[in-house]
Structure 1
Amino acid sequence: MSSSIHPCLWFDQQAAEAADFYISVFPNSRIVDKNPIAVSFEVMGTLMMGLNGGPKYQQTQACSYFVYCGEEVSIEEVYDSLKKDGKVYFPLDTYPWSPKYAWVQDRFGTNWQLDADPIRSVQKIVPCLLFVNEKKSKVREAREFYTHIFPNSIRLMEAPLPDSEDLLFTQFKLDGYIMNAMSSPERHEFDFSPGNSLVITCKGQAEIDYYWEKLGESGEHGRCGWLTDKFGLSWQVVPEGLGKMMSDPEKGKRSMEALLKMNKLIIETLKNP
């Protein structure tokens, strides 16, 4: 397997505006590609995507993005920029788990967890899954589910809940991509949503078939390569070069029409609609 993973953020029609904002806030950030539907951008060298999906879904606190600042980022400056016209859930301060930490929802609805600690990886932005309410005891199960599906996956660390076999926090790699997962003992009014999804870019049909079936097991398969796994997390299983297929001057319109009729994406049909 040689797939790659990156987060997708759902916006009404503000994807380009949000991406421009993020590359102005974070160093080593740039726009990679842009079209009316989506914009790909790097934040501190880590690929993300913004989708102009309309008002149907909103982003959720159940999916946030850790920013491991280290010495290369001024956590104070990033915090001040992100909190403007947004919401602060944890103000920038010292906490038992970090010498400097904050949780901020920016004005576009994206949730960021800022941590002054460095990370020994080129991946500085790490998606975090928050399991709440009836799912709060599912962190270990979810980690095992994902690490068994993705090749070259390892557990990096974990912190158990006091006097419990459940996990408060864990960090792991899925085929080299770092993920965080945590639980909350409090009652919350949010859960996972298609407003935050993870995109798997696949090199061939065999990989699409594999992830479509494995991740969708006991979940729900949707349209256009989207699925929801058994924990409620949304994934997009797409072929490498999908954007190029959709923008082809001769076949692009027919490829888009074909995609809109599909559940699982079929590469040959997209290439030759």
Structure 2
Amino acid sequence: MKNPIYPCLWFDGQAKEAASFYCSVFTDSKITDENPMVTTFEVKGQKFMCLNGGPMFRFNEAVSFVIDCETQEEIDYYWNKLTEGGEESQCGWLKDKFGVSWQVVPVVLAQLLSNPEKSQRVVQAFMKMKKFDIETLLNA
């Protein structure tokens, strides 16, 4: 069974719009099924469901999606696409125009944080950031 576990995102009538938006942001993505209640899509083989569930539930930061980025160009790309109509937060976090929380993170961050000589300076540097800047982290 391919993808036996996948997220269901609850929207208030915007399931198709959200799925289309995410497919426009991420390469290797496609809408796989749609009906008035549910739109499913895949990003790099990972299945997602968007449900038109109504106004009773809203997204919050308790659940977020992490995007590992190899380069500053990737960080800039995802940050710009996902904050369009959304809002920036701190330390690589943002909310997109639907209220879904994302973390746009450089893959080098884990390595920097595991370096006992550098980790405190790296934390101090990224606590001042909204969008991560790889060069600043490397120079911390």
Check whether TM > 0.5: yes
Poorly superposed stretches of 4+, deviation over 4 Å: none
Structure 1 counterpart SS, 2:7: strand
Q: Does 1:127 align with 2:7?
A: yes
Equivalent residue for 2:64?
A: 197
TM-score, with structure 1 as normaliser: 0.49
Q: CA deviation at 1:268?
A: 1.4
Whether the aligned pair in 1 keeps the contact of 2:20 and 2:31 (CA below 8 Å) is no
Conserved 8 A contact 1:208-1:265 = yes
How many residue pairs get aligned? The number is 140
2:79 to 203, 206, 212: 212
Match for residue 178 of structure 1 among 41, 47, 54? 47
Please, which runs of 5 or more residues in structure 2 have no aligned partner? none
Instruction: For 1:125 and 1:272, locate their aligned partners in 2 and report how far apart those are by CA, in whole Å.
Output: 39
Q: Distance in 1 between matches of 2:77 and 2:43?
A: 15
Q: Which has more helix, going by share of residues?
A: 2
Aligned to 1:57: none
| CA contact 1:251–1:272 (8 Å) conserved in 2 | no
**Where does the alignment leave 5 or more consecutive residues of structure 1 unmatched?**
1-118, 161-167
1:152 aligns with one of 14, 22, 28: 28
> Residue type matched to 1:127 in 2?
P
Question: Normalised by the size of structure 2, how large is the TM-score?
Answer: 0.94
Deviation at 1:225, TM superposition (A): 0.3
Q: Mapping of 1:232-251 within 5 angstroms?
A: 232-251=99-118
RMSD of Structure 2 on Structure 1 (CA): 1.3
* Aligned-partner Cα distance in 2 for 1:124–1:267: 35
* Offset of residue 124 of structure 1: 2.6
3-state SS in 1 of match to 2:99: coil
User: CA separation in 2, counterparts of 1:156 and 1:130?
Assistant: 17
1:179 counterpart letter in structure 2: F
Q: Which has the higher contact order (CA 8 A, sep 6+)?
A: 2
Among 122, 133, 136, the alignment partner of 1:255 is 122
Counting strand residues as a fraction of each chain, which structure ranks higher? 1
CA distance in 2, matches of 1:236, 1:207: 13
Which structure is larger by alpha-carbon Rg, 1 or 2?
Answer: 1
